[in-house]
Structure 1
Amino acid sequence: VKRYLFDDDHEAFRVTVRDFYVDQVVPEYTNWERKGVPPRHFWKAAGKLGLLSIQVPKEYGGAGRGGFLFNVILTEESRRAGIELDSFRMHTDITMPYFLRVANAEQQSRWLPRLVGGDAVAALATADVGAGCDDKALTVRAIRDGRNYIVYGSRTLACDGADADLIVTPVTTNPAAGRDGLSLLVIDGNSPRLTRGPKLDKVGPRTRGLAMLIFDDVVVPAENLLGEEGRGFSYLIENVAQERLSIAVNSHATAVKELHDTIEYAKDRKAFGAAVSSSQQTKFLLATCVTDIEAGQSLLDRALVAHESDELSAADAAIVKLFCTEMRDRVVDRCLQLHGDSDDMPQFHPIFAAYADAGLSPTYGASSEVMKLIIAQSLGI
């Protein structure tokens, strides 16, 4: 089904992004996977090309372009190239809005030029050990001490924990106030007494830089408080729709990529003297995949239009995230079946990596069960 989201500027940007990925990322992506994080020169190159600065105002070195559709192109083209850039999405889609919408002018002048140029990598530290996705149960504490906060506790970042320079960290500043006691601090990744555990070996994308962060009485200047003390929870909720939309975009783009590759594989692979694609069962499986993907595309594009108009509700974001992540799981599972016996396939064949991550994608940005609860609440039940 033809899409009508993108204008000529978007499509010109798509060509630039596609060439960048093919020329500068794909040739060295295997090394990224071995090391577990994108190299620093990637961030500098992306910054030089303007990929980190699309929505950032011009006075801070950005392009000053509104809207989320450029971010969508960054994700779609990464999956088309066969690379997983979760750390990139963490920087541009998930963390950058806090610097654009919550940070004051002094903070923006201090941080945005570094983020735009690739001199600093940003991350959001919301995955608390023991708290899961319950932001109200976060255990990292911050005590005001004159002009500073003293931060203590531990947290596991979803990604970029091993390499981030500016870490947006929800902290509890008033334990007795519940959600109204949560605040956001930007913590420098080089702060004394901030310890990074080793990069964690995990299922799924291998370039996310997942690592434990331990705050052992870390001194954070009070001027690094984002917004007002006690409003951290509301700031997180304000950005959750875009976070889940970003996850949905990535999931859908992955399904498209795996279906494309599987169709080509089925045409080339022979079984019992005939191409696998000639089998009626193969045709049925692939037709089901296409139908799932097209349904997801329609749902996703409607959500993107709503988001561009600042009209995407939390419930609508939950619907699109729920459908697209679980659709990705279904599509990749069917595609894996068509690859047949794995004895003649390399250990890290892309279909295996896609399969490993597909089962996890419904848990990103809170599980499918949480999405269903949000949707049910919107129904008044």
Structure 2
Amino acid sequence: MLAKRAVYDEEHHIFRDAVRKFYETEATPHAEEWSKAGQVPRTFWNRAGEAGILCPQLPEEYGGVGGDYRLNCIINEEQAYCRAGGAALAVHSDIVAPYLLEYGSDDLKERILPKMATGKMVGAIAMTEPGTGSDLQGMKTTAKMDGNHYVVNGSKTFISNGQNCDFVIVACKTDSNAGAHGVSLIVVEADREGFRRGRNLDKIGQHSSDTSELFFDEVRVPATNLIGQENAGFMYLMQQLPQERLSIAVIAMAGAQRAFDITLDYVKQREAFGKPIMAFQNTRFKMAEMKTELEVGWAFLDQCLSRHIKGELDAQGGAMSKLWTTEMQGRVVDQCLQLHGGYGFMSEYEIAHHFTDSRVQRIYGGTSEIMKELIGRTL
């Protein structure tokens, strides 16, 4: 990974060192164990909170350090680079927390945000439904007013932190006849009657990250659990999606860099026909191509990051950051596995996990095809 990048200052480099040490101590040694278990233990969330790497962008009054989004990026980069996957910290800190901080009532912020910062409460967000995929406007989950409560009915799928979450922000229709203009965001606590977690989904990669189906059967939540204004949820989603997609781009870059670095070590040590694989021109050319793509990727990512912290990254920019970096990650990881030969297909080699873990990057947060559509509409 590029050690000194202009987008970060010296304090950020100090923070990075602390985050990397945390992951190397608290997460990386348990990667295999958590992968077999299908999720990370809640104790890890508590330790992450104690270490100050949950929701660092929150103001001090809510338990954060009042930092900007660059702290979140460092946390995400190091988690991807150290192969400390599992807990979807980016979902919790980069996606869920901002909805509450930006649009939530004082009551919601005071009740939830401090506990998110300590890891006592784990957050999830439920947008995707069976049969709708990236089409958020097609959601069928509803929330109807009954007195001073909403009654939520429906189901969601592919929900990160679904097994571990203490609450979930549910995107639902409060006006079924208004299309995108009838969507609201409502906080549903996991202990409410009628809320049910489905199975922990069996994925081809990211095995230690709990991903679930969630079901809502006449779940009653107080009207005060509404985030922002009723029927304004789709607008809030559109405002926050650039940061969500930028977070995915950050993870893509760090993951691709890690795949390259371990492959560089491998081709220098592994021999074929009496000499290191790196001695073959084809290997050197492939490594040179990937190194160049990584340099371009980091420059583009940092440009997007600089724009975002100035409030200038729009929907097109967020879509482009995710599209290019995740597609590049796919190319790099595939080539790195190829250079490992048969060993790349063995689960005991780290590159195999990068191959399976990275595949979903081009799907969640909006597929590559949706990103192209969004970009194309602006031309």
Asked if Structure 1 and Structure 2 have the same fold, meaning a TM-score greater than 0.5 normalized by the shorter chain, the answer is yes
SS in 1 for 2:258: helix
| 1:6 and 2:13 matched | no
Encode CA deviations 1:55-114: one digit per residue, 9 max, x unaligned: 11111222122x211111111111221222461111011111101101111211111111
Do the aligned partners of 1:107 and 1:224 also contact (CA within 8 Å) in 2? yes
| 1:104 and 2:105 matched | yes
AA matched with 1:378: T
CA distance in 2, matches of 1:116, 1:315: 31
AA matched with 2:65: A
Identify unmatched segments of 5+ residues in structure 2.
none
CA distance in 2, matches of 1:274, 1:61: 55
Do the aligned partners of 2:55 and 2:72 also contact (CA within 8 Å) in 1? no
AA matched with 1:373: E
Do the aligned partners of 2:159 and 2:214 also contact (CA within 8 Å) in 1? no
Aligned length: 377
AA matched with 1:374: L
Cα deviation, residue 144, structure 1: 0.5
Do the aligned partners of 1:75 and 1:85 also contact (CA within 8 Å) in 2? no
CA distance in 2, matches of 1:47, 1:79: 18
Identify unmatched segments of 5+ residues in structure 1.
none
Encode CA deviations 1:310-367: one digit per residue, 9 max, x unaligned: 0001101111111000000000111011001239x64342211211233321112111
Q: How does 1:325-336 map onto structure 2 within 5 Å?
A: 325-336=326-337
Encode CA deviations 1:108-150: one digit per residue, 9 max, x unaligned: 1111111111100001111111111111111111110011111
| 1:204 and 2:190 matched | no
Q: How does 1:1-381 map onto structure 2 within 5 Å?
A: 3-65=5-67, 67-85=68-86, 87-342=88-343, 346-379=346-379
AA matched with 1:84: G
SS in 1 for 2:88: helix
CA distance in 2, matches of 1:164, 1:53: 15
CA distance in 1, matches of 2:54, 2:323: 28
AA matched with 1:314: A
SS in 2 for 1:211: strand
Cα deviation, residue 308, structure 1: 0.5
Identity of matched residues, %: 38
RMSD between superposed Cα atoms in Å: 1.4
Q: For structure 1, which segment, 119-128 or 28-37, has the greater mean C-alpha deviation from structure 2 after superposition?
A: 28-37
Do the aligned partners of 1:186 and 1:226 also contact (CA within 8 Å) in 2? yes
Do the aligned partners of 2:35 and 2:86 also contact (CA within 8 Å) in 1? no
Do the aligned partners of 1:78 and 1:85 also contact (CA within 8 Å) in 2? no
CA distance in 1, matches of 2:64, 2:256: 32
Encode CA deviations 1:7-54: one digit per residue, 9 max, x unaligned: 111111111101111111112222211122221111111111211131
CA distance in 1, matches of 2:71, 2:251: 13
CA distance in 2, matches of 1:53, 1:252: 21
CA distance in 2, matches of 1:361, 1:350: 18
SS in 1 for 2:83: coil
Do the aligned partners of 1:87 and 1:207 also contact (CA within 8 Å) in 2? no
Do the aligned partners of 1:166 and 1:189 also contact (CA within 8 Å) in 2? yes
CA distance in 1, matches of 2:373, 2:198: 34
AA matched with 1:290: K
AA matched with 1:169: V
SS in 2 for 1:151: strand
CA distance in 1, matches of 2:71, 2:158: 25
AA matched with 1:328: Q
CA distance in 1, matches of 2:120, 2:206: 24
